[in-house]
Amino acid sequence: MKIDWNKRYTTIAAYSFLVICCSIIFFSIISEMSAFTDNLGWIVSTLQPFIIGFVIAYLLNFILVFFEEKVLIFDSIKNIKKKNKRGLSLLLTYITTFLIIYLFMKFVFPQVVDSVVGLVNDVPTYVTNLTNLLEDMTAKLNTDSKYVVLAMEKWNEFINYIISVITNLLPILGDTIKSIASSVWNIVLGLVISIYLLMDKENFCALSKKMTFALLSKKHAEKVVELNQRSNDTFGKFISGKIIDSVIIGILTFVILTIFKIPYTLLISVIIGITNIIPFFGPFFGAIPSFIIIMFVSPIKALWFLLIIFVIQQLDGNIIGPKILGDSIGISAFWILFSLLVAGKLLGLVGMIIGVPLFAIIYSILKEVIEDKLSKKGLPKDTHDYI
């Protein structure tokens, strides 16, 4: 006997069943969070070479594209097979990468380590000199003794905190090198995997696209592919642009600080360059510890440093950054701040780096859905029409 299914109620029942299943899975994960995180950690550690390989391939892809589309465009090279051209571009990509790493480890890294060691050794002397200077200033100002005592207590607490932070720089640096050394096999495997990914990236993309069209309807598959392309475009432009921008800012900072004879020039330039990768908060993260380091040596030069960094960041925010990044984000400063705070809280430093492009993608999807619903209702889509 044929059963006459009511499509409306069948759909409601199917969605209800899925919601119940998802709710059970969610509450099971919450109730067994420690076991879930342990299993997740085991999965991540197992897949670590593939994760490293994917990250390396993604970061080096823009260099590969540069060699293929901008450098290897001579008539004699155009006639060679695409596979051979890809192999040559790949070789040049990894030679360039290893050359940059070698130059950094040869010339920059040893000086940074020497600067950190020298800073740790000289901190007691700097603290004594700065404390004596503050005592002389308070004596000349004839300040009430109780305020002087309170100020000195707070100053000593601040100094003790700074000393503990600076003293821990060497162990942190050592632990970082140790963790990298312990993961050297995974890094080597990741390099090999990245070569395979870059060599055959079109086929991997085609395979994922093929699976998407096989599992989903044509309409939804096309939407997923379009969303994937949009995400790749946003992430690629943002991350590669931010890296280039940060390198330029680091070099510019080094040149200007050298001209003004600011102490620990190379160390501070590296700090400014690395923290500049983080949008919005990056300049503050880099400038505050750098200011404290310089203040130990010379308070006057520390003030000059703040002025220099302010000028450099204005230059970066208004000229260099927009030229490199363009409109790759497409969200306002408020949403950039929001995405940094939320992603930083959930994912830490990695969240602060990828939070902005990730939120930009989510924002574009929500915007598209809302505008589509407004269009179906015959309502205006422009936000200004609702003011």
Tokens of 188: 């080597």
- H helical segments located in the chain: 7-31, 33-46, 48-66, 75-78, 82-103, 109-140, 145-167, 169-182, 184-199, 201-215, 218-259, 265-275, 282-297, 299-315, 321-325, 333-376
Q: Average per-residue pLDDT in the chain?
A: 79
Count CA atoms closer than 13 A to 25's CA, side-chain side: 6
Indicate the pLDDT class of residue 95, thresholds 50, 70 and 90. Answer: very high
Range among 9-23, 57-71, 323-337 with highest mean pLDDT value: 57-71
Using CA atoms in the order 135, 136, 142, 145, what is the torsion angle rounded to 10 degrees? 20
Using CA atoms in the order 3, 7, 12, 16, what is the torsion angle rounded to 10 degrees? 50
Separation between Cα atoms, residue 373 and residue 30, nearest integer Å: 34
215 by Cβ neighbours in 10 Å (0-12 / 13-18 / 19+) ranks as exposed
**Can you give the residue ranges of every domain in the chain?**
46-199, 238-328, 329-381
Residue 77: φ, ψ to 5°: -85, -30
Section 156-181 average pLDDT? 65
Query: What's the pLDDT score for residue 344?
Result: 78
Query: What's the pLDDT score for residue 3?
Result: 46
Query: What's the pLDDT score for residue 308?
Result: 92
Query: What's the pLDDT score for residue 173?
Result: 62
Q: Indicate the residue type of 303.
A: L
Section 323-348 average pLDDT? 73
Section 146-165 average pLDDT? 66
Query: What's the pLDDT score for residue 179?
Result: 66
pLDDT higher for 292 or 82? 292
Separation between Cα atoms, residue 61 and residue 193, nearest integer Å: 13
Separation between Cα atoms, residue 155 and residue 229, nearest integer Å: 54
pLDDT at 293 over 50: yes
Separation between Cα atoms, residue 191 and residue 121, nearest integer Å: 38
246 CB neighbour count, 10 Å cutoff? 21
Our measurement of the distance from residue 320's CA atom to the centroid of its chain's CA atoms, rounded to an integer in Å, reads 18
Q: Please state, for a pLDDT cut of 90, what percent of the chain lies above it.
A: 11
**119-126, long-range: CB < 8 A, 24+ apart:** 119/166, 119/169, 119/264, 119/267, 119/293, 120/166, 120/167, 120/169, 120/170, 122/296, 123/162, 123/163, 123/166, 123/167, 123/296, 124/163, 126/296, 126/297
Contact 281, 340 (CB under 8 A): yes
Q: What is the pTM of this model?
A: 0.71
186 by Cβ neighbours in 10 Å (0-12 / 13-18 / 19+) ranks as middle
Q: Please state, for a pLDDT cut of 70, what percent of the chain lies above it.
A: 74
